[in-house]
Amino acid sequence: PLFDGVKLIKKEQLLSFRSSGFFFLVVPGFTFMVMYLEWFVMCYFFDFFSLVFGVLLFLCLIGFSVYSFLLGGIVSNSKYGFLGGLRSGNQSVSYEIVFSLFIISIIFWSGSYVFFWGGGFLFVYFYVFFFISMWGELNRAPFDFSEGESEL
């Protein structure tokens, strides 16, 4: 992911006639920053940044990913880009609701807001639903509606 951010900055930028060059770089930079903040919240990888309410902060940061789709569509100054941003934002919100309810159920089950849960095999059942909801959030098959738009 770090090299994707470097590639984003170093790559030749082709702007359309009506789009804003500043916001064209700011919106993906905002998305990149939110993505790295999500990784810092997880105490499995970064012990120095473990928070008491880390799961709630993670849910808030996941909610910011919708703004990157919406702002990306608005910044393009194209009606098709705007409609595509709205569609991607709506799809992301619908998967995010399921994912958030799933994470909240894990919070109630474990009784903790920290990412390090000690539940043993009780959380194996949650893993299946977590994996399916993450497929939906990442737009992987069979949830890749954006790749199948031409068939609709």
Q: What is the pLDDT of residues 39-76, one digit of tens each?
A: 777 766 556 666 778 888 888 888 888 888 899 888 88
What end-to-end distance do the CA atoms of the chain give, in Å? 32
* Chain segment 90-121, per-residue pLDDT in tens: 888 888 888 888 888 888 887 777 766 665 66
The residue segments making up the domain with residue 86 are 2-151
Name the residue among 107, 103, 95, 83 with its Cα closest to residue 140.
95
- The type of residue at 144 is D
Phi, psi of 22 (to 5 degrees): -65, -50
The pLDDT value recorded for residue 122 is: 63
Average predicted confidence (pLDDT) for the chain: 76
- Among 15-24, 50-59, 119-128, 137-146, top mean pLDDT goes to 50-59
Domain count, the chain: 1
